[in-house]
Each structure stands twice: as structure tokens, then as C-alpha cells.
Amino acid sequence: MPYAIELTGITKRFPGVVANEQVSLAVEVGEIHAICGENGAGKSTLMKILYGMQPADEGAIRVFDKEVHLGSPTDAIAAGIGMVHQHFMLADQLTVLENVILGAEPTRSAGRIDFARARAHLREVGQAYGLTVDPDDRVETLEVGERQRVEIIKVLFRGARILILDEPTAVLVPQEVEELFRNLRGLKSAGTTIIFIDHKLDEVLEVADTITVLRQGRSVATVKPGDVTAPDLAELMIGSELPTAQTIGVTVTDEVALEVKGLTVVEEDGRVVVDDVSLRVRRGEVLGIAGVEGNGQAELIAAIIGTAAATAGTILFLGEDVTHATVRHRREAGIGYIPHDRHREGLLLQAPLWESAALGHQTRAPFAKGLFVDRAGARERTEWVRREFDVRTPSVEVATHALSGGNQQKLIVGRELAAEPAVLLAAHPTRGIDVGAQAAVWDDMRAARAAGLATLLVSADLDELIGLSDTIAVMMRGRLVAMLDPATLTARELGAHMTGAGVRGDSR
Amino acid sequence: MSALRRLVLALAAPAAAVGFALVTSSLILLLIGSNPLVAYGDMLEHASKLETLVDILNRATPLYVSGIAVAIAFRMNLFNIGVEGQFLLAFLVAAHAGSLVSLPAALHIAFILVVAMSVGAAYAGAAGVLKVTRGVNEVISTIMLNAIAVSGLVAWLIKEWQAGGSIGTGTTTRVGTAPIDESGLLPDLNGVLELVTRDLRPGKELTGVLVLALVVGVVYHVLVNRTVFGFDLRASGFNPFAARVGGVPPKRMIILAMSISGAVAGLVGMAELMQSGYFPSNPIQGLGYAGIAVALLGRNHPVGIAFGALIFAFLDVSSGVLQFSGAAPREIVVIMQGVIILAAVVAYEMAHRARNREEARSAAAALHEARAEA
Ligand SMILES: Nc1ncnc2c1ncn2[C@@H]1O[C@H](COP(=O)(O)OP(=O)(O)OP(=O)(O)O)[C@@H](O)[C@H]1O
Ligand SMILES: [Mg+2]
């Protein structure tokens, strides 16, 4: 088999870490090649090098049997390589067609955009690869899975024959994942080569033809999915067996920590995004919110933390009406928050790690002494979070952006749990975290629950929802449409409820 | 990496920028037929005189305050282009208000400073209010407010408040607002300076506002880097969305940051007012814009801004001697100031990369050592 990509001896160093060390990777033409590894193993770095976003310190890159130098993504695209980033880069206000041609507009004379040709080409690409989108839909109206499809088409539109996807399934619900995998198989049969990063091992085993495992910057194994099991893979990744999850019985108390009554949020354009939602979370309870992303979960959380105004309804925190309280008041009173988008709302990427660890808690000990920042206390707490939550970083002084995605996520989870809130609003708390660390975070969340934490959990990971929640509410088009008991629920059933294809909810 | 190397790398960038500016202006001077060595010689010789040093410090003082004013807003990603208008208006109103009252010395001085800071804060705060209520970009609003202040308010008010005829002690003719009583003026630092050097030539005064400027620098550092308020300010600058869910009220923060920046801007004119006691009818201009350059050169760091202010002051003062000695056209210093700024931006980026490479190398070395031992 000829190779689409051959990386040899790739080394990349960053201040205080060696992200890739003598990594070699060979990807055959027309295969689906998965890259696995712990958080910080160097997966994203390797892909960024392959896409020309970062130069390697050492090593050679061959694409379709030609040695290439990729100084920028433009070079990579010219060589036939396209990348879909974990954070989508679409313009919400534009249509699908406009987004796809953005930056690669076919033009007629005098620089006018040739929309007819673009439309025809888009249709061709869609048909050739079996990807369907409506070119005239506005991107903001699309669901996550559809947006991702637009990103993929955008890359193919530019003539990519090698497709790189960094954690494409992290934001998808299972039904969407299946759809994605169908599409990937379709692309493969059309001759496209695919490289993707994924932390969910059963997904990897399902769709990949070959799996390469990175550990601490080095490629430690290349295996075929038929030859290994998920535990084998995990062992290759972390070098030891997976810890088994601990189980704690029901810890729900009678004391209501968070009560939402008739909450309605109406956007400026008149859309009702949260529609008459009522819920209660008691101390020691985890209330899971299931739903396809974009059905009002984000707005519900925003209203409770205070960044979106409630149009109607009340929010009670430990009996106190906080419907109109400031964000700061709510946070100081003890509402913790794990945002769904860590880069946008969770971190100060340019600031040192210990400052990111203080964010949201900067007015209280150990981060503050009176009106002053307690720098020693803040560093000490950050060191503690780093130890307890296994945040891999050379030190707490490095800039936050220098951490790998999963390690940034661990920092946020650690920061929020360390503050011992009374209520935790957790949106996709383990998004991007590797299997080993995920089990550890789940344990931490269970322990906090046992200690009396009331958690409102939003997640696209159904195993997480079922495994952690005491009750699951299904949210659709802004409304809570069903209350389900996770003890008697399978992921399949839950998925069916979320897409509305499901049976009627057994309302409690 | 050792602390020493770190320091060397930190200083390398501004030094390289100044070096580059020297080379560029030398080429220009050669091109127009002047001898750069003679010109630099004149500048340095002049600057080594005690009286010139006093001139440089007097000039650097308002530049420094102006740089700090700009830097405060910069730390929140706000561009206060309006220091010019804020300081002129504050200068004028403070001069007028100060001339209307008579108070004991300490109170009189405090009163004038408070008036100046309040006017600056209010005028800059207006840009903040426009931003949060109407979404007007602060760059645009402060530029417009500058125009309104400089050619509108100040021009009008100076006519209203101008004292008739020549005023003052009689040696020179001064036209401007009515003079402030002696009790409202900050004493000069000549006594302190003369303790360690010789007596100054009569008529030369080292401004007492220098001390005030140093206090402003220290307060800036503590406020921005050590207080919770400063954390909120910088967090908003880094990532306004994250700051918001972190409990920082975004609107209030914008208005506060602009107001504080304006309050400091209000002090820019004090170096002159505390010495002369009045607002002249043709006031000094450009200090507000120079502050932007100085803040950029000093990377918003209180000590860096001091260096920037001193370099700019030195060049400003040198332009006089060049004209006097005829070694070079005085405009060459403006070119040098511009080149330094441009070169500094490039040099800082290069130093940043060099530091990263260095750290990466030492990390790799440490790793290999660890492997070898294992
Ligand atoms: N720009 C950077 N500056 C400094 N260090 C960096 C930078 N980017 C990555 N690193 C470091 O390189 C290592 C590998 O990071 P990378 O993002 O490739 O990990 P990853 O395998 O993608 O992890 P994750 O699963 O958490 O996304 C990490 O230790 C990270 O801290
Ligand atoms: Mg990554």
C-alpha cells in the first residue's frame, strides 16, 4: 500500500516540555487512522505540525511520496491536507455556502464571486462524498453535527485528500457520532485518507483501520483494532491498567440547594430559548440534563450563573432568591461553574496558570486577602489542584495556553471542586479528558456529591450522564420534556429520547 | 535559565531598538550631509550638564504620568487615545479653580490635584459610558472628545477665564488664567538635588511633581498587579467572557478603567501648573499622544514606562540643542522617536521567541540527563 503521510523523527520542544520526540507515523492512502494517547501526549501538536501550523524542530514529512515543507496551513492545503479543528471556525451569520467558499471564493471577472459555480461545486463535493447540507441554511440555525459536516465539506471543497480531525466526537451525541462515522466511511470509500484524534476507545475501535498510540511525546505502538481491546488500548496509553470506578450509593438529601421555577429566557431576537423550566437539585444529588446541543441547555446554565437575564421565573439558591443577583454575588454565595467552552469562558489563556486557577474565585481565600491578591496562597492552591487533578504542566507559572486541551479542562474541574461550592453547574465536565483522567474526575465528582454537593450536569456523553446522575431530565427546544431514571436506562434509549424519536417520558 | 540571563534578554530588546534607531538616524543624517557623530556628541555633551538633566526630568515627569494613564486602559485592552484632551481640560479647570480659592498649602495643593483628577476621570469616563450604553468604540469616542476638548472647550474656557493683561512677577509677560496663590504650588526639589550636587543656575527648578509621578507609578503597579481589582481589570483584558462568568461586571469595569486612566491623565498637566501657577493661553500639546508611545515602549510596565519617558524626554530636550548648535536639523529626534517605537515592537517579539527557544533547549537537555540517569 502506498502511504499518504509519512512522518519520520518528528521532534517538537516547548518551554519545559518535549511535546513530540522522534515520532514516526505512516498513514496508508484511503485508511482511517486514529491517534490515541493521554492528555498532553502530543497528539494535537503532531497534527498541527502536519497542518503547517507549527514548525517541527526536527524530522521529515512526506505526503504522497513527496518530501514537503509545510510552513503554513496554505502549504498544507496545497499538498492536499485539510484540518477540522476542535473549535469550529464558522461565521454564524453567513450561510453554509458562504462559509464554505470563505477564503477560497471562485471569482468571475472583476473579482466578483461566482456563486453559481460555487454552488455547483458544493453540490458535486456533497454528492461525491455523500454529505448532505442545504447551502442556503444560515450556520447559526444548524446543530453541532451539521456544523461539523460543514467544516468537513469546507475542507474537501479546497481539494483536500487527507483529512485531519482533532477530537471530532467530543461535542457530539451518540446519534451524531454514528452519522459522522458513516460519513467518514463514505469519504474513505471515495479515496480520502483520514486521521483523527479521539479519547473514546470504543469509538476508535469501531471506525479505525489502524491506531497509533502516543505516550509522553513518543509513538509507543501501532495496532489494528481487531488485535486489541479497549482495556489493552488504555494500558498502552497510560502504561498501566485503568483504575476501576468507585461506586457510592444514593446520597440525595431532603435539603433543596437549587430551585428553578418557571424559568423563561427570551433572546433579543424574540426566540424563546428556555421555556418555562422548573427543576430542583437537592444536596447530594446530581441532576443530569440530556439533550442535543443547542436545545437551551447553555442558556439555562447561563441564566442560573447570571450571564443571561431571566425573562420570567425565579431562581432560588439555598432558599435565597438570586434571580436578579450579580454573577459575583452568586459565585461568592457558592455556585461553581464548569463552562461548556473552556477557551471562551473558562480560562485566561495569556495569563499564567495560577491566575487562570483563581478566575471566578479571585475575591476569596486562598486567592485573596482583603482587597489584595494573595499570590502565595493562589500558587499554593494551584499546586494542590495540579497534584490532586493530575494537571500535567512544567509549572504553575507557564501561560495557560501552553497546556494541552485535556489538561486545561482538568484545571477548570479542579479549580471548581477545590472551592467546595454548594451547587455546581457542570457543562461537559470531562470533555477532552482522557479515559484514565476521566475516571478520576468522575470519582472526584461522586465524592463531592457524597459530601453534599448539588450538581446540575449537562453532558453529551451519555455514559457520563447515566453513570453520574440521580435523575435525568431531557431538554428539547427549551423545555424539559421528560424525567428519566438512569438506573433503568440504556444509552440507546436515552439517545432516542434526546432526538425526540423516543418513547414518551415516564414523567415522575 | 538564570535570573541574569532573563534580565539580559529583557533588556536586550529595548537596547536593540535604541541601537537600531541610532543606525537609522545616522544614515539619514549622512544622507542629508550632517555628521552624525558631531550631532550625537552635541546631544550627549549637552545632556551631561546638570541643568539639562533637570530639563530632561521635568519633561519626563508628565510623559511618565501620561504613559501610566494610557497603560491602565491598555491592561484592559482599552485604547485611551484621549489623554491629550483629558489632561488639557483638567489642567485648565484645575488652574482656574485653584486661582479662585485660598487655602492652607497642603489643602490647596490637594484641592487642585483632586479637581484635576476629577475632571480627567469624568471626561474619560464619558467615553466609557458611551461604550457600555451605546457601543461606541473608545478609540473613536476619545479621538472625538479630544477634538471637542482641544479646539472647543479649552479654547472657549480660556477666553472666559483669561486674566487681563500681563500677570506675574513682572520679569516675563504671561498670558493665561489668573495665577494660583503660592500656597497652591508644589515646592521644587532643588534643595534635595543640591544636597548631592552643586547649586543650580538661578531660574532652573526640578519639579516637585516628580515625586508625585513616582507615587503614581507605585500605585499603578500595586493596583494592577497586586489587588483583586487589578486582577479583574487584567482578566477583562485577557478574556472578557471568562472574566464575566468569573464575576467581573463588564460594564462597570469599562467605566472604572477609563475613569481611572482619565484621573491619572488629569495629573499630566500638574508638572507645569505646580511650577508656573497658571494655564497659559498657548499650552503645551502632544503629551497625551506621546504617552501612548511611551507606554508602548515600556510595555505597560511601571519601570519600563519610566525608561521610555526618559528616552523621549532626552530626545525632546536634545532637539533644542541641535537647533542651537546647527549640527543637525532638530526634526531628526522625531524620526528617532518613531524608529525606536517601531524597532521596539519588532525587538520585543524577537526577544520573546529567543526566550522560548532557550527554555525549550534547556528542557530538552534536562530530559536527556534524566533519561541518561535512569
Ligand atoms: N504552545 C505551546 N507552548 C508550550 N507548551 C505547549 C504548547 N502546545 C503544547 N504544549 C505542550 O506540549 C505537550 C503536548 O501537548 P498537546 O496539545 O499536543 O497534547 P494532546 O496530546 O493533544 O493532549 P490533549 O488530549 O489533552 O488534547 C503538553 O505538555 C503541552 O503542555
Ligand atoms: Mg489536544
Mutate which of A12, A22, A324, A327 to disrupt the B interface (most B C-beta within 10 Å)?
Answer: A327
Chain B CB within 8 Å of residue A398 CB: no
Looking at chain A, the whole-number percentage of residues with pLDDT higher than 90 is 65
* Residue B169 pLDDT > 70: no
Q: Is the residue at B361 inside a domain?
A: no
Do residue B324 and residue B335 come from a single domain?
no
> Can you list the alpha helix ranges (DSSP code H) found in B135-179?
138-147, 155-161
A371's CB contacts (< 8 A; 6+ apart) are B227, B228, B229
CATH code: domain of residue A401: 3.40.50.300
Q: Is the residue at B63 inside a domain?
A: yes
What is the tens place of the pLDDT at every residue in A286-305?
999 998 888 999 999 999 99
Q: In what order do the strands lie in the sheet with A32-37?
A: A81-84, A162-166, A193-197, A32-37, A210-215, A218-223
Q: Is the residue at B372 inside a domain?
A: no
Residues, chain A: 508
Task: Determine the Cα–Cα distance for residues A18 and A8; give it in Å rounded to an integer.
Answer: 16
Do residue B239 and residue B290 come from a single domain?
yes
Shortest CA distance from A360: residue in chain B: B246
Do residue B15 and residue B101 come from a single domain?
no
Do residue A132 and residue A105 come from a single domain?
yes
Q: Is the residue at A230 inside a domain?
A: yes
* Residue A100 pLDDT > 80: yes
Do residue B109 and residue B193 come from a single domain?
yes
Do residue A225 and residue A270 come from a single domain?
no
Which of B242, B248, B356 is the closest to A347 by Cβ? B242
Q: Is the residue at B341 inside a domain?
A: yes
Contact B322, B337 (CB under 8 A): no
Do residue B20 and residue B120 come from a single domain?
no
Chain A CB within 8 Å of residue B173 CB: no
Do residue B343 and residue B252 come from a single domain?
no
Chain B CB within 8 Å of residue A380 CB: no
Q: Is the residue at A507 inside a domain?
A: no
pLDDT at residue B364, as a whole number:
62
Query: If you ran DSSP here, which 8-state letter would residue A430 be given?
Result: T
Do residue B222 and residue B347 come from a single domain?
no
Inter-chain CB proximity A372 and B228 less than 8 Å: yes
What is the tens place of the pLDDT at every residue in A222-236?
999 999 999 999 999
Looking at chain B, the whole-number percentage of residues with pLDDT higher than 90 is 49
Do residue B49 and residue B132 come from a single domain?
yes
Q: How far is the CA of A43 from the centre of ligand 1 (A)?
A: 8
The arithmetic mean of pLDDT across residues B202-220, rounded, is 93
User: Would you list the DSSP string of B113-124?
Assistant: HHHHHHHHHHHH
Cis omega (within 30 of 0) on the bond before A366?
yes
* Residue A264 pLDDT > 70: yes
pLDDT band at A506 (very low <50, low <70, confident <90, very high): very low
Higher-confidence residue of A111 and B313: namely B313
Chain B CB within 8 Å of residue A268 CB: no
What is the tens place of the pLDDT at every residue in B3-38?
677 777 777 777 888 888 889 888 988 888 888 888
Task: Determine the Cα–Cα distance for residues A338 and A298; give it in Å rounded to an integer.
Answer: 11
Do residue B52 and residue B192 come from a single domain?
yes
Task: Determine the Cα–Cα distance for residues B93 and B89; give it in Å rounded to an integer.
Answer: 6
Q: Is the residue at A328 inside a domain?
A: yes
User: Would you list the DSSP string of B266-310?
Assistant: TTTTHHHHHHH-S-BSS----HHHHHHHHHHHTTT-HHHHHHHHH
Higher-confidence residue of A114 and A213: namely A213
Looking at chain B, the whole-number percentage of residues with pLDDT higher than 70 is 91
What total of structural domains would you count in chain A? 2
Closest-CA residue, ligand 1 atom 16, reads: A42
Do residue A278 and residue A231 come from a single domain?
no
Inter-chain CB proximity A14 and B247 less than 8 Å: no
* Residue B342 pLDDT > 80: yes
pLDDT at residue A246, as a whole number:
59
Chain A: nearest CA to B359, how far in angstroms?
5
* Residue B170 pLDDT > 60: no
Inter-chain CB proximity B242 and A359 less than 8 Å: yes
pLDDT at residue A463, as a whole number:
87
Shortest CA distance from B248: residue in chain A: A328
Chain B CB within 8 Å of residue A349 CB: yes
Q: Is the residue at A271 inside a domain?
A: yes
Which of A18, A307, A368 is the closest to B364 by Cβ? A18
From chain A, the residues in CB contact with B1 under 8 A are none
Do residue A230 and residue A158 come from a single domain?
yes
Ligand nearest to the CA of A198: 1
pLDDT at residue B367, as a whole number:
59
pLDDT at residue B288, as a whole number:
93
Q: Is the residue at B364 inside a domain?
A: no
Q: How far is the CA of A79 from the centre of ligand 2 (A)?
A: 23
Inter-chain CB proximity B356 and A349 less than 8 Å: no
Which stretch of A302-306, A322-326, B41-45 has the lowest confidence by average pLDDT?
B41-45
Which stretch of A460-474, B4-18, B101-115, B189-203 has the lowest confidence by average pLDDT?
B4-18
Do residue B13 and residue B92 come from a single domain?
no
Q: Is the residue at B2 inside a domain?
A: no
* Residue B167 pLDDT > 90: no
What is the tens place of the pLDDT at every residue in A185-217?
998 998 999 999 999 999 999 999 999 999 999
Do residue A228 and residue A324 come from a single domain?
no
Chain B CB within 8 Å of residue A334 CB: no
Do residue A203 and residue A317 come from a single domain?
no
Contact B71, B295 (CB under 8 A): yes
**A405 C-beta closer than 6 A to ligand 1:** yes
pLDDT at residue A212, as a whole number:
96
Output the CA–CA distances (angstroms, integers) from residue A240 to A235, A277, A410, in the order listed: 5, 45, 20
What is the tens place of the pLDDT at every residue in A387-400?
999 999 999 999 99
**A41 C-beta closer than 6 A to ligand 1:** yes
Q: How far is the CA of A404 from the centre of ligand 2 (A)?
A: 5
Averaged pLDDT score across all residues of chain A: 90
CATH code: domain of residue B296: 1.10.3470
Examine the fold and report which residue of A208, A238, A268 is the final residue of a domain before the chain moves on. A238
What total of structural domains would you count in chain B? 2
Do residue A422 and residue A319 come from a single domain?
yes
Q: Please give the residue range of the domain that contains residue A409.
A: 256-498
Chain A: nearest CA to B162, how far in angstroms?
45
**Can you name the residues that pair with A426 across neighbouring β-strands?**
A338, A457
Examine the fold and report which residue of B313, B328, B343 is the final residue of a domain before the chain moves on. B328
Q: Please give the residue range of the domain that contains residue B27.
A: 9-34+331-355
Do residue B202 and residue B66 come from a single domain?
yes
What is the tens place of the pLDDT at every residue in B303-331?
999 999 999 999 999 888 887 777 788 88
Looking at chain A, the whole-number percentage of residues with pLDDT higher than 70 is 96
pLDDT at residue B1, as a whole number:
52
Shortest CA distance from B241: residue in chain A: A345
Do residue A260 and residue A233 come from a single domain?
no
Q: Is the residue at A68 inside a domain?
A: yes
Q: Is the residue at B371 inside a domain?
A: no
pLDDT band at A113 (very low <50, low <70, confident <90, very high): confident
Do residue A15 and residue A126 come from a single domain?
yes
Do residue B107 and residue B250 come from a single domain?
yes
Do residue A226 and residue A356 come from a single domain?
no
Which stretch of A493-502, B132-141, B144-153, B205-214 has the lowest confidence by average pLDDT?
A493-502
What is the tens place of the pLDDT at every residue in A169-184?
888 888 888 888 998 9
pLDDT at residue A68, as a whole number:
94
* Residue A505 pLDDT > 50: no
Q: Is the residue at B370 inside a domain?
A: no
User: Would you list the DSSP string of B86-108?
Assistant: HHHHHHHHHHHHHHH----HHHH
Side-chain-side CA neighbours of B59 within 13 Å: the count stands at: 25
Averaged pLDDT score across all residues of chain B: 87
User: Would you list the DSSP string of A265-324?
Assistant: EE-TTS-EEEEEEEEEEETT-EEEEE--TTSSHHHHHHHHHTSS--SEEEEEETTEE-TT
* Residue A504 pLDDT > 70: no
Q: How far is the CA of A407 from the centre of ligand 2 (A)?
A: 9
Ligand 1 atom at shortest distance from the alpha carbon of A15: 4
Element (H, E) at A457: strand A454-458
Q: Is the residue at A171 inside a domain?
A: yes
A191's CB contacts (< 8 A; 6+ apart) are A29, A30, A161
Q: Is the residue at A508 inside a domain?
A: no
Q: Is the residue at A477 inside a domain?
A: yes
Which residue in this structure is represented by grid cell 550638564? B49
Q: Across A34-38, A486-490, A491-495, which has the greatest mean pLDDT? A: A34-38
What is the tens place of the pLDDT at every residue in A40-55?
999 999 999 999 999 9
Do residue A360 and residue A464 come from a single domain?
yes
pLDDT at residue A507, as a whole number:
41
pLDDT band at A508 (very low <50, low <70, confident <90, very high): very low
pLDDT band at A244 (very low <50, low <70, confident <90, very high): low
Do residue A204 and residue A265 come from a single domain?
no
Closest-CA residue, ligand 1 atom 10, reads: A402
